[in-house]
Amino acid sequence: MPLRLPDDLMVSVSGVRGRVGPSMTPELIAGVAAAFGSWLLDEGQDGPVIMGRDSRTSGPMLGRAVLAGFQSVGVDVIDVGIVPTPTVLLAVDHHGAAGGIAVTASHNPAEWNALKLISSEGMFLDGEASLAFREYLTTQDPERAPWDELGEVTSDPSAVDRHVGAILELPQLDVERLERRKLKVALDCVRGAGGVIMPRLLEDLGCEVVSIHTEPDGFFPRDPEPTAEHLAELGELVRESGADIGLAVDPDVDRLSLVDEKGTPLGEDLTLALAAAVVLRETPGPLVTNLSTSRVVEDVADAYESPLVRAPVGEINVARRMQVEDAVIGGEGNGGVILPNLHLTRDAPVAAALVLQYLCDAETTFSRAAADWPSYAIVKTKVSFPREQLEGAYTALVEDLDADTEDRTDGLRLAWAKERAWLHVRPSGTEPIVRLIAEAPEAERAEALVARADELLKGVV
């Protein structure tokens, strides 16, 4: 019998996700892992797979289910333990693995967990592969191995060491200079997997570290999404300790958020911009980001005469486009930085190292260094809207708003070059809602754009 998925389990491009309890059970997760192992074999992949997880309390239970599922179809598994998601992807590369699973619900609250599925390329499954796997999962009964052909489980405790080592070797970093500057860094890992890598990486970069919530036990003391409004405690720590900068990561350590030396949370919009500045000033080249990322990355790309390419929202869409463009850096406005000479996935430890290099080289305070770049206001909202009327809505918006450019690769994005403003109208893939995101140098203009779009959408239905 193929696996029957409960209705409240979310199956998407990135994997399966649900609340621990009735929907995220070890039985179900073992079934998904068995199907994934069997599908990889069908796809002609051999070799072991990698399993790693963040610090959630459900991680050991679901992790063991993943191991058992793989073993049951005769696939060997290397368990890398509690590590950042980018560390799992790097381990897939290192071991030449057939694929992998990261057990993490990323920035979602503690009661959630999820499986993120990884291909032999050391990247998440793309849209096509994930559709193929979903079809397999819901229609096929994976062939189980007999008693003498079960997969073996081994552990690899060195994945974090290799990750830190690879970052220290990055040609974009001047570690000696960082060691001389001895930056004082305040760190908040929200009791996620960041505690196993961030303090150590920062110390290896010569920083003095003061930290909160580095115990990787999954008891998140606040909303674990590292947006500015959740970083008051880190701001306090920066002020109390006199730190040069504050850094916060999400539970699976692929997003980095910034706090200035005054303790003001700047959020995640600047992370990619500052990391990109460090890379592009040495090696100008294509920068790829998504359609909803702040325009400040465009300013950075312009400053270093580098082309900026925007891909549809979704990490794998950005990563795939980076391959096509031969990009030198890429990422998302949510603090996710992708440095292709390490790997094609969002990596907060890499982002932290690049941002610290930026601050070190600026030879001033972080708030002044950040003010080298224009600041913008982003306004986001969502409205309910029927999918079948979207085309009509796009036409109405294009006609009314008179933009300089329009992009329809992921909803509708309109931009006004001289005003340095844009509006992205993006339908949800799963619900009859549309997200409206606008950015402009002045909050009033961004708010007016969202309000006008909302009005136009209401006029269509």
Kindly indicate which of the ranges 14-22, 173-181, 249-257, 280-288 contains the residues binding Mg ion, using the contact rule CB under 5 A: 249-257
Nearest to 461 by CA among 372, 373, 376, 385: 385
* Cβ at position 185, least distance to Mg ion in Å: 20
Contacts of 429 by beta carbon, 8 Å cutoff, 6+ apart: 12
Return d(Cα 398, Cα 460) in angstroms, integer: 13
Smallest separation (angstroms) from Mg ion to the CB of 255? 5
Q: Which is nearer to Mg ion, 298 or 315 (CB)?
A: 315
Interacting span for Mg ion (CB under 5 A) from 1-9, 248-256, 383-391, 438-446? 248-256
Give the residue at shortest CB distance from Mg ion. 106
Q: 192 or 263, CB closer to Mg ion?
A: 192
Q: CA 113, CA 218: separation in Å to the nearest integer?
A: 11
Question: What is the token pair recorded at 116?
Answer: 């993120």
Q: Which two tokens stand for residue 363?
A: 């030879």
Find the shortest distance in angstroms from Cβ 342 to Mg ion. 17
What does residue 368 show for φ and ψ, rounded to 5 degrees?
A: -70, -40
Walk across the sheet containing 433-440 and list its strands: 377-384, 433-440, 421-427, 412-416, 405-407
Q: Which is nearer to Mg ion, 321 or 346 (CB)?
A: 346
Size of interface with Mg ion, in residues (CB under 5 A):
4
Secondary structure of 363-412 as H, E, C letters: CCCHHHHHCCCCCCEEEEEEEECCHHHHHHHHHHHHHHHCCCEEECCCCE
In the set 14, 38, 58, 106, which binds Mg ion (CB under 5 A)? 106
Q: Minimum distance between the CB of residue 104 and Mg ion, rounded to whole angstroms? A: 7
Residue 93 or 254: the one with the smaller Cβ distance to Mg ion is 254
- Residues catalogued as catalytic: 106
Residue type, 223: D
Q: Using the rule CB under 5 A, is 332 a contact of Mg ion?
A: no
Interface segment toward Mg ion; rule CB under 5 A; list 100-108, 225-233, 311-319, 367-375: 100-108
Q: Per-residue contact track with Mg ion, 253 to 292, x per CB under 5 A?
A: -x--------------------------------------
Q: Strands 15-19 and 112-118, how do they pair?
A: antiparallel
Residue appearing with tokens 């309890």:
21
CB of 277 to Mg ion, least distance (A): 23
Looking at 93, 250, 347, 410, which residue binds Mg ion (CB under 5 A)?
A: 250
What is the rounded distance in angstroms from the CA atom of residue 83 to the CA atom of residue 72? 24
Whole-angstrom CA distances from 132 to 12, 139, 140, 387, 429 are: 12, 11, 12, 24, 18
Tell me: does residue 252 bind Mg ion (CB under 5 A). Answer: yes
- The answer to whether residue 79 forms part of the interface with Mg ion (CB under 5 A) is no
Shortest CB 346 distance to Mg ion, Å:
7
Strands 308-311 and 377-384: what pairing? unpaired
For Mg ion, the closer CB: 254 or 298: 254
Pick the stretch among 31-39, 99-107, 173-181, 362-370 that binds Mg ion (CB under 5 A).
Answer: 99-107
Which residues contribute to the site for Mg ion (CB under 5 A)?
Answer: 106, 250, 252, 254
